[in-house]
Amino acid sequence: MRSLLAALLFLFSCPGRCMYLESDQNTSIPEGWINAGRVAASDQVQLTFALKQRNVRELRELLGRVSDPDSSQYGKHLSLEQLSFLVQPSELTQKVVRRWLESHGVHDCQSVETQDFLQCAMPARVAEKLLPGCEFSRYVNRHQSLVRSPVPYGLPDEMSEHLDFVGGVHRFPDSKVALRRTWANGKKQKAEFHLGVSPSILRQRYNLTASDVGSSQNNSQAVAQFLEQFFHPADLAEFMKLFGRGFKNLPEVERVVGKQGGGKAGLEASLDVEYIMSTGANIPTWVFTNPGRHESQEPFLQWLLLLSNMSAVPWVHTISYGDDEDSLSQAYMQRINVEFMKAGVRGVTLLFASGDSGAGCMKASKGGNTFRPSFPASSPYVTTVGGTSFKNPFQVTYEVTDYISGGGFSNVFEMPDYQVNAVNSYLKGMKALPPKTYFNTSGRAYPDVAALSDNYWVVTNRVPIPFVSGTSASTPVFGGILSLINDHRFLKGLQSLGFLNPRLYKLQESASTALFDVTEGCHLSCLDEQVQGQGFCAAPSWDPVTGWGTPNYPHLLTALGD
């Protein structure tokens, strides 16, 4: 009904020929947001134009070579300047976009080093003329106010060959916090007796000794977060005082990029920082936090713009942002995927949480259900981290699947070459798989690796809180361990690990012991008659629940430290 109305409006408001770049973007307003009415015509909005890049195929091929340990180009990463030379939009594209904006009186624009984004401020009235169809309203929830359009935007036909999408129009910041308090979940009652996961438990389980801490001058790591959350330096200091005994650590972050509010600390924000700095101990750590906070910004996109505008960024980033693939436009996901390639070719490692809904669930178009993959977990150019719990919650013994661990097969991205053998072995080897109609075996399968995700201690607002769980806990833990390996590499004068997957899959296919294989347990999915709440199950070698498994640091270091 609404799309019909939108189409009519669109015909009316877009004389001449017009295009929708993101007609498949979900433009409904997520729960919890209240429409506070149309913005005034003179209210400023800020739009982010993603200009078409050059040489995307060359970028993909180059990333393959610099990430393949058997290539003579392995580790030959690009500087931001070199990357910019490769991908920046053609003169024509840059000129056409600028001229179009200027012809509407839009002059207040900022570009990035790679010239492939343009961020411009303008009155809402001008934005609505630029993008026929869209209608900006203000939406508020308890913490925040945003400007978005519930109606899809069009573009003059001649612009569509120069732009991938326009940001700041539709997407809301993620509402899915990949975190939960275990005690709230009836299924996990017995966990209440557990002493909980702390840095010393993690370091013991993953075989980190007291001397396994960073010492290279060149090393750095980061967490990025996009919620309206802050971390308090005092929480980190308190956390290290309580839990940081027995290994050298830093009680302060090195740098906060973006604006930290003064409000209450968020659980997620505290967790990420406290744990990346516990495994990646003594390594300078940055926090990227929702910067700028213009009402019409997309915080996740904002972080990617920052990466394209800073010549020196940390080597490892861990991120807990995720959305259902089916709610995002193809144009957006494909372009964001290129942004991940850009990071990889610079030697930056991106780790994403696999999500906390197992295989997920959605109604299929023909009725019935299918699993529901999550993005960016499903991107072939990031390393995705699933979750585990201890088999015996009283002891530091072996790990089994955490039933929430996100995993499955993308419906958007084809399966990359590096994982074809691993995934096919899993599919062939399993006696019982979910019904074929529930997942797409031609897609990128995830996660790649895992770590403990259950029953963490976190200090937030100065108070130690137990029972914090989710793959947003396992992700910084794995990230910190990769940073330790980078540290050894830097001390030897080698390059960073960069995009890890091609090397990781090769390593694991050679019967490596660098990761503990998690082989027990299944994750959750649709509560229907066909699958009855069960998604995929873990198995020997790679599986779409815990990937290749959890880190055994000394062996991982031997394998990747060169």
Ligand X SMILES: *[C@@H]1O[C@H](CO)[C@@H](O)[C@H](O)[C@H]1NC(C)=O
Contact status: 160 vs ligand X (CB under 6 A): no
Contact status: 110 vs ligand X (CB under 6 A): yes
Token readout for 267 is 């659980």
For helices 56-66 and 330-345, give the axis angle rounded to 10 degrees: 40
Q: Confirm whether 272 is a catalytic residue.
A: yes
For helices 553-560 and 471-491, give the axis angle rounded to 10 degrees: 50
Contact status: 561 vs ligand X (CB under 6 A): no
Contact status: 217 vs ligand X (CB under 6 A): yes
Query: Which of residues 164 and 238 has its CB atom nearest to ligand X in the complex?
Result: 164
- Interacting residues of 374 by C-beta distance below 8 A, sequence separation 6+: 322, 323, 324, 325, 354, 355, 357, 360, 406
Do residues 416 and 443 touch, judged by C-beta distance below 8 A? no
Contact status: 519 vs ligand X (CB under 6 A): no
Contact status: 205 vs ligand X (CB under 6 A): yes
Three-state SS at 168: coil
Q: For residues 421-445, b (16+ Cβ closer than 10 Å) or e, as one string?
A: ebbebbeeeeeebbeeebbbeebbb
In angstroms, give the least distance from the CB of 33 to ligand X. 9
Contact status: 439 vs ligand X (CB under 6 A): no
Among 78, 122, 191, 305, binds ligand X (CB under 6 A): 305
Q: Read out DSSP for 224-244?
A: EE-SS-B--HHHHHHHHHHH-
* Kind plus residue range of the DSSP H or E element containing 401: strand 399-401
Question: How far apart, in whole angstroms, are the C-alpha atoms of residue 229 and residue 291?
Answer: 12
Do residues 319 and 372 touch, judged by C-beta distance below 8 A? no
**Ramachandran class of 476: left when φ > 0, alpha when ψ lies in -120 to 50, beta otherwise:** alpha
Find the catalytic residue in 235, 238, 268, 402: 268
Alpha helices by DSSP H, 104-189: 124-130
Among 135, 174, 326, 562, binds ligand X (CB under 6 A): 326
Find the catalytic residue in 128, 272, 325, 487: 272
Amino acid identity, residue 191? Answer: A
Query: Which of residues 388 and 411 has its CB atom nearest to ligand X in the complex?
Result: 411
Contact status: 30 vs ligand X (CB under 6 A): yes
Instruction: Tell me the window of 250-258, 271-279, 438-446, 527-535 that interacts with ligand X (CB under 6 A).
Output: 438-446
Contact status: 46 vs ligand X (CB under 6 A): no
Token readout for 349 is 């490692």
Among 66, 112, 267, 458, binds ligand X (CB under 6 A): 112
Angle (CA) 359-365-371 rounded to 5° is 5
Instruction: Tell me the window of 5-13, 71-79, 241-249, 320-328 that interacts with ligand X (CB under 6 A).
Output: 320-328
Is the peptide bond prior to 447 cis by the omega test (within 30 degrees of 0)? yes
The contact pattern for ligand X, residues 374-403, with x = CB under 6 A and - = no contact, is ------------------------------
Contact status: 43 vs ligand X (CB under 6 A): no
Instruction: Tell me the window of 23-31, 56-64, 86-94, 242-250 that interacts with ligand X (CB under 6 A).
Output: 23-31
In angstroms, give the least distance from the CB of 317 to ligand X. 17
The contact pattern for ligand X, residues 410-429, with x = CB under 6 A and - = no contact, is -x--x---------------
Among 13, 26, 94, 141, binds ligand X (CB under 6 A): 26
Contact status: 442 vs ligand X (CB under 6 A): yes
Instruction: Tell me the window of 123-131, 312-320, 499-507, 548-556 that interacts with ligand X (CB under 6 A).
Output: 548-556
CA-based radius of gyration for the chain = 23
Contact status: 231 vs ligand X (CB under 6 A): no
Find the catalytic residue in 198, 270, 320, 472: 472
Instruction: Tell me the window of 8-16, 467-475, 480-488, 551-559 that interacts with ligand X (CB under 6 A).
Output: 551-559
Among 554, 558, 561, 562, binds ligand X (CB under 6 A): 554
Please count the residues of this chain forming the interface with ligand X, following the rule CB under 6 A.
25
Contact status: 75 vs ligand X (CB under 6 A): no
Question: How far apart, in whole angstroms, are the C-alpha atoms of residue 172 and residue 296?
Answer: 9
Query: Which of residues 71 and 442 has its CB atom nearest to ligand X in the complex?
Result: 442
Do residues 465 and 195 touch, judged by C-beta distance below 8 A? no
Distances (CA, A) of 260 to 178, 225, 241, 292, 417: 21, 11, 23, 10, 41
Would you tell me which residues interact with ligand X (CB under 6 A)?
A: 26, 28, 30, 110, 112, 119, 205, 207, 217-218, 305, 309, 324, 326-327, 411, 414, 440, 442-443, 490, 493, 552, 554-555
Would you name the residues annotated as active-site residues?
Answer: 268, 272, 472
